[in-house]
Amino acid sequence: MAASQPENRLVGSVIRLWSSSMFSVILCVCSGVCAQAQDAHTNNTNESWTTTTQASVDNTGPTRTTESHSRSGNRSVDKQIVEVLGSNGQYLRNFETEKETVFVNATTTRTVVRTYIWDVDGRRNLEQVTEEEARSSADGDVQVIRTTSNSDGNGNLQVVQREVADTRGTSPDVHETKTTIYRPDGNGALKPSLQTQELQKRSADHTIEVKKTLLQPDSSGNWEVGEVKESTIKEDNKIRTTEESISRRDLEGRVSEVSRTVGKETETTSGEKSTTVETYYTNTPGVAPDGSLHLNWQVTTVQQKDSDGKTTDQQGKQPDPDDPNGNLQVSTRTKYIVLYAASGAQETRTTQTRDINGSFKVVSVETQKSNQTPAEQVQTTPSEKPR
């Protein structure tokens, strides 16, 4: 499916992924199944908002992305439309996703995601459909069944993947999730092709430990460990630390650590947040493998905010290609400026990268306007209900 998405959209997504603090990615180690169960219990409200983002990325054409959300009663619809600038100077639709969510009752949520692409004649064609049903029980167990179908080009849908995830609580502070992914074999029958086992523990000292094991079938059809991801999150007042390690099976069948990510976030009494995330790899470009982890990537983020908005400065550091064993050097800078208004918010993101001469140049500029009331304003306005 990734191959069918336009290059401009892919580049924009990469910039956005990097510019979002890597620290927040680490915090998403908990199972998405639990989030589905929580969504099923949200109150029925009527709301709608629209966000428009324009991005200009170096060496690619400008793109415009429009995201909208509407909810009425127990049904919500989220849409994303990606447009690229055509040769006539007009934006042309290129990609669209539509997500419809129905909160059937307090324990059941059904979601359908449809993906469309436009052909050269401007016609919208259905590319993929993902159907999901999440059910939770009174004791907190959750089952999610997700089926993905792709179009064969003639308007017919063929199932390409089915995912079944079961989450159960073995104690108030321990949850286990087992997920099995089924894909068609040579005869079109769905057979297990991937399995994950996730164990999540919460401690009284505000620590969350997650161990996720990826299993793959060997040549005989027996499950064997392909990857193990272990994460720890700990909060102590205004300090949050995270650590994540990834171990993979090598060609000789041994499972050993290949990367480690360490993050720390602090917040002052005035609301300023400072985050540092460091990533270590066993394989570093320009360095002979020695079985040890080497610092390969560091991201620091400083965020300041007030009643008018917030400003975030972020910089990424990597080893100098000419001196991989030396100190890290700044390779990327990103600045975010968000301004609040009664009608919504406006955000500008500017990313710079270091060129071969050591100078920084702008490689992407993204502006975003939204009529959604910012969360910061909602929290400080007693007369409005929190979203």
Residue 277's pLDDT is what? 98
DSSP 103-163: E-SSSEEEEEEEEEEE-TTS-EEEEEEEEEEEEE-TTS-EEEEEEEEEE-SSS-EEEEEEE
| pLDDT tens by residue, the chain, 387 residues | 444 444 444 334 433 433 343 444 344 444 444 444 444 444 547 889 999 999 988 778 899 999 999 999 999 999 999 999 988 889 999 999 999 999 999 999 999 999 999 998 889 999 999 999 999 998 889 999 999 999 987 879 999 999 999 999 989 899 999 999 999 998 989 999 999 999 999 999 889 999 999 999 988 889 999 999 999 999 988 899 999 999 999 888 899 999 999 999 999 888 899 999 999 999 877 777 888 899 999 999 999 988 889 999 999 999 988 888 888 999 999 999 999 988 889 999 999 999 988 899 999 999 999 987 766 554 443 333 333
Residue 58's pLDDT is what? 79
The answer to whether 333 touches 315, Cβ cutoff 8 Å, is: yes
Q: How far apart are the first and last CA of the chain?
A: 33
The answer to whether 33 touches 177, Cβ cutoff 8 Å, is: yes
Residue 353's pLDDT is what? 95
- One-letter identity of residue 339: L
The answer to whether 128 touches 151, Cβ cutoff 8 Å, is: yes
Q: In 251-297, which ranges are continuous DSSP H helix?
A: none
How far, in Å, CA of 31 to CA of 165, rounded?
10
| The model's pTM | 0.78
User: What is the token pair recorded at 271?
Assistant: 């609301």
- One-letter identity of residue 194: L
User: What is the token pair recorded at 49?
Assistant: 């908002």
Name all domains of the chain by residue range, CATH numbers in brackets.
2-372 (2.40.170)
Residue 297's pLDDT is what? 95
Tell me if residue 323 falls in helix, strand or coil. Answer: strand
Residue 28's pLDDT is what? 42
User: What is the token pair recorded at 243?
Assistant: 């650590």
CA angle, residues 163, 169, 170, in degrees to nearest 5: 120
Task: Report which of 269, 266, 290, 268 is spatially closest to residue 280, judged by C-alpha positions.
Answer: 290
71 Cβ contact partners less than 8 Å away, ≥ 6 residues apart: 45, 46, 47, 48, 77
The answer to whether 204 touches 212, Cβ cutoff 8 Å, is: no
What length is written for the chain? 387
Residue 307's pLDDT is what? 83
CA distances from 22 to 201, 211, 334 (A): 23, 19, 13
The sign of the CA dihedral 336, 334, 14, 209 is negative
Residue 377's pLDDT is what? 53
Per-residue buried b or exposed e for 139-159, using 16+ beta carbons within 10 Å of the residue's own CB: eeebbbebbbbbbeeeeeeeb
Residue 4's pLDDT is what? 43
User: What is the token pair recorded at 179?
Assistant: 């997920």
The answer to whether 309 touches 340, Cβ cutoff 8 Å, is: yes
